[in-house]
Amino acid sequence: MLDSHTISIVRSTLPLLAATGPKLTVHFYERMFRHNPELKETFNMSNQRDGSQPESLFNAICAYGANIDNLAVLLPAVEKIAQKHASVGIRPEQYQIVGTHLLATLEEMLNPGAEVLEAWGKAYDVLAQIFINREGEIYHESAIQPGGWEGTRAFRIVAKTPRSSLITSFELEPQDGNPIESYRPGQYISVWIKPAGFIHREIRQYSLTRAPNGKTYRIAVKREDEGKVSGWLHQQAQPGDIVQLSAPCGDFFMDVAPEIPVTLISAGVGQTPMLAMLNTLAASQHTGQVNWFHSAKNQSVHAFNDEVAQAGARLAHFYQHVWYSDPAAADSNYDSKGLMDLVNQKSHFSDPQTQFYLCGPVGFMQFVASQLMQLDVDPKRIHYECFGPHKIL
């Protein structure tokens, strides 16, 4: 626990941090990678280049400082970050490296004096220990599961299937032929690769897209214009190739009683965790209402339409509605043109017990969440996942 004097000093520095903005964390990452370039094998450097990771870390630091005397408020954010850290294999000793460069950054950019640096050092040590403890629990929980493991495990690509002009699915089986760990629908795995031509090892998270079967995992990958890993998977990877995977992780997952209504809302490749949820509901013969609301640009980029229909046919109460923002003249697999409009669909989720699961671009999820709250949906019933650094809707 931190003493009141330390808490007071940390909180007194918040206006200075706010005035400095994310350039503080940009400096931190540049410094850390300069002194410890081996960490480029762990961090997603694409998120460094576009500024999303420095912004996310800056927001986290400010949130920690503002709630330093009430850490319980931060536990949901801690869990989300700890799950992501576990998926990329963060180890306790790396927290010392991060702490060293964080304090050095504060000194170099703000020159706040020894007392402030000491206070932030104490505050960082408390938070680091919280993460170390939780991540240790995640590693242990995974390792003791049937089919579980710690670290990475070799998997073979056994199927590569185009699902749209942008999305391809990959089925992966363990090279050792042994069973694999189960997962909760909505969770993800990390793919670790360093093929010829890659300067650094790259790690990316991809949602698991179907109900667990104990034998293989399936992911679906959108080809990004500047995507190093997605480009390799789409253009070079072939059945028979070996990739390394970490065990399933993630705090975004569906956990509902059989009679609870569920509404799954997605846009683009955001449908991938929803597919696992839908297939799990179908496999368990869910008795509550299930709604599938999806938005895509047009039919050429709309993936898994047939699979959704097949899963829906196995459910007692299923309804779907698809929006295309820019349909081609020949497109037919959609119900409405334009942006997703949930006001006209509210009769399908009027039950106050309905749980809502969202995934897609942040702007899309903000748009959807705003509609739901205008319809008096309790925010506690709205669950969402961001691909990449987390953002608050």
Q: Which residues define the annotated binding site for heme b? A: 85
* Contact yes or no for 117/103 (Cβ under 8 A): yes
Binding residues: 85, 188, 204-207, 268-273, 386-389
The one catalytic residue among 29, 64, 95, 124: 95
135 catalytic per annotation: yes
Any idea what the Cα angle at residue 147 is, between residues 142 and 149, rounded to 5°?
Answer: 45
324 catalytic per annotation: no
Binding residues for NADP(+): 268-273
The one catalytic residue among 29, 64, 124, 135: 135
Catalytic site residues? 95, 135
